Amino acid sequence: MHYGTVSCVGCKGFFRRALMKADQLECHANGNFFVSDFRTQCRSCRFEKCLEAGMKPEGKNYCSPKPINKSDWMKKLTVEMRTLLMNLLNIEAKVMKGDTNVDASQLYPLRVNRLREIIADPTKLKGKRCEMRYEPFRMAKNNELSMVAYRRLIAAIDWVEHLSVFIGGLSVDDRVALVKNAFAPLMVFKFACRTAEAAKDKNILCLCNFSYVPRNISAAFSDSYHLGNGLVDRALDELVQPYRAYGMREEEIVCMSALIVLNPLARDLSVEAFDKILELRNKIEDALFVVIKEARSTQHPAVCFGRILLSLPIVTMLANSMCENLQFAQIFSNSGRIPLLTDLFGYVQTIEC
């Protein structure tokens, strides 16, 4: 029995495939298909006959297919898309892994106080990247929040450095512009999507140092640093909850991360960099759409694609609030000024994604 009625294995398989593409089935003879020696069936008419025979789309399939294997849908991507996707996954793995086992409290802040110095000479960060993992093992300590922001700044620098290689390199000024623009939205997006992935508790937000902060952060911490002014509440309700319901794949996460970093509207970006960034960004958007279409096997890939992209304005709004919090914290926080973060916000900027 398949889909609520007695049917052969052939019809079961056809019905399952037809359901996935029901909106694409069309009879060229308006339901009066003529059977000839050259064509003995019409997919649309056969689907209608299955429905007339009692096969129900909502019926339980007792021989349900196995989940789609990653290697199966990856084969449907072009070589260029597969290469691009693997490169993005490798970047994420490198950025998250870091290059030292030293605790963040012993590493940060660095002795380098200017963002331009680091970007001009990335070797200054060698051995200064602690591992990042968004796991709710413990509640974060108050004095760790500034270190979390510091580590995420280094992650933004690494993302820009890796992506600039794909477009033939960028000038120091262009890389500085991208880092300043990408730092806050990338941090917001990461803690939102990783919290949705790692935590089931709807009242905690995971940070990159194996810890979390509660929804009522102002009651738990005397100094909420960059996460104050209702930022945690909004992130949990407006980003984490939709991401958790959607169930973002790792491939979708890295594509979205790259789109956030490669913002052609970043302030002070040169015309040459604009063209290069826009070209790579378009390729990543194409890859993201194909991943959604093939990996999810949804009938409406454009809807899923739109849902993901429509979260970017929310990420942008929360990122701007975080920028304001960080600038305020550099003056009034108990943690004191951190020169590198002060240099990052040399002016009040509004981010656009």
User: How many percent of the chain have pLDDT more than 90?
Assistant: 53
Same domain, 28 and 122: no
Same domain, 299 and 263: yes
Same domain, 77 and 26: no
Report whether pLDDT(319) > 70.
Answer: yes
d(CA 261, CA 190): 12
Say if CB 284 and CB 149 are below 8 A apart: no
Same domain, 83 and 187: yes
pTM above 0.75, yes or no: yes
Dihedral sign for Cα atoms in the order 308, 313, 319, 321:
negative
Q: What mean pLDDT is reported for the chain? A: 85
Domain membership flag for residue 351: no
Lowest mean pLDDT among 250-254, 307-311, 333-337: 333-337
Q: What is the mean pLDDT of residues 68-78?
A: 75
Say if CB 55 and CB 19 are below 8 A apart: no
Same domain, 219 and 237: yes
d(CA 165, CA 7): 56
Strands (E), 12-154: 133-139
Return the pLDDT at 62. Answer: 39
Q: What is the mean pLDDT of residues 87-107?
A: 92
Domain membership flag for residue 32: yes
What CATH number is associated with residue 86?
Answer: 1.10.565.10
Return the pLDDT at 131. Answer: 93
| Contacts of 138 by beta carbon, 8 Å cutoff, 6+ apart | 210, 211, 212
Report whether pLDDT(246) > 80.
Answer: yes
Return the pLDDT at 21. Answer: 66
Return the pLDDT at 121. Answer: 93
Domain membership flag for residue 187: yes
d(CA 8, CA 230): 58
Same domain, 32 and 161: no
Question: Please, which pLDDT band fits residue 42 given cuts at 50, 70 and 90?
Answer: confident
The residue ranking higher by pLDDT, 236 or 36, is: 236
Say if CB 261 and CB 178 are below 8 A apart: yes
Same domain, 164 and 308: yes
Return the pLDDT at 69. Answer: 63
- Please give the backbone phi and psi of residue 130, each rounded to the nearest 5 degrees, phi first: -75, 160
Return the pLDDT at 71. Answer: 63
Pairing of strands 209-214, 204-206: antiparallel
Q: Where among 65, 90, 106 does a domain terminate? A: 65
Domain membership flag for residue 353: no
| Contacts of 58 by beta carbon, 8 Å cutoff, 6+ apart | none
d(CA 6, CA 59): 12
Report whether pLDDT(252) > 70.
Answer: yes
Report whether pLDDT(328) > 60.
Answer: yes
Lowest mean pLDDT among 10-19, 201-210, 261-270, 279-288: 10-19
Count of other CB atoms within 10 angstroms of residue 260: 25
Q: How many domains does the chain have?
A: 2
Same domain, 5 and 98: no
User: How many percent of the chain have pLDDT more than 70?
Assistant: 87
Q: Where among 65, 90, 118 does a domain terminate? A: 65
Return the pLDDT at 333. Answer: 67
Return the pLDDT at 70. Answer: 60
Return the pLDDT at 148. Answer: 92
Same domain, 241 and 186: yes
- Please give the backbone phi and psi of residue 63, each rounded to the nearest 5 degrees, phi first: -125, 55
In 3D space, the residue among 146, 59, 182, 172 whose CA is nearest the CA of residue 342 turns out to be: 146
Same domain, 139 and 255: yes
Domain membership flag for residue 100: yes
Report whether pLDDT(350) > 60.
Answer: no
Report whether pLDDT(61) > 60.
Answer: no
Report whether pLDDT(347) > 80.
Answer: no
Please report, as a single letter, which amino acid is at residue 125.
Answer: L
Domain membership flag for residue 111: yes
Lowest mean pLDDT among 18-27, 144-153, 226-235, 332-341: 18-27
Residues in the chain: 353
Q: How far is CA 50 from the centre of its chain?
A: 40
Q: What is the mean pLDDT of residues 205-221?
A: 90
Domain membership flag for residue 213: yes
Domain membership flag for residue 248: yes
Return the pLDDT at 18. Answer: 78
What tokens were used for 218?
Answer: 């102002």
Question: Please, which pLDDT band fits residue 348 given cuts at 50, 70 and 90?
Answer: very low
Same domain, 39 and 180: no
Q: What is the mean pLDDT of residues 78-95?
A: 94
Say if CB 138 and CB 211 are below 8 A apart: yes
Same domain, 90 and 136: yes
Q: What is the mean pLDDT of residues 26-42?
A: 68
Return the pLDDT at 225. Answer: 76
Q: What is the mean pLDDT of residues 253-280?
A: 95
Dihedral sign for Cα atoms in the order 14, 297, 72, 27:
positive
Report whether pLDDT(233) > 90.
Answer: yes
- Domain boundaries, position 17: 1-65
Q: Where among 65, 100, 119 does a domain terminate? A: 65
What CATH number is associated with residue 57?
Answer: 3.30.50.10
Return the pLDDT at 139. Answer: 93
What tokens were used for 103?
Answer: 């605790």
Over the stretch 116-162, which tens digit does the pLDDT of each residue have? Answer: 999 999 999 999 999 999 999 999 988 888 889 999 999 999 999 99
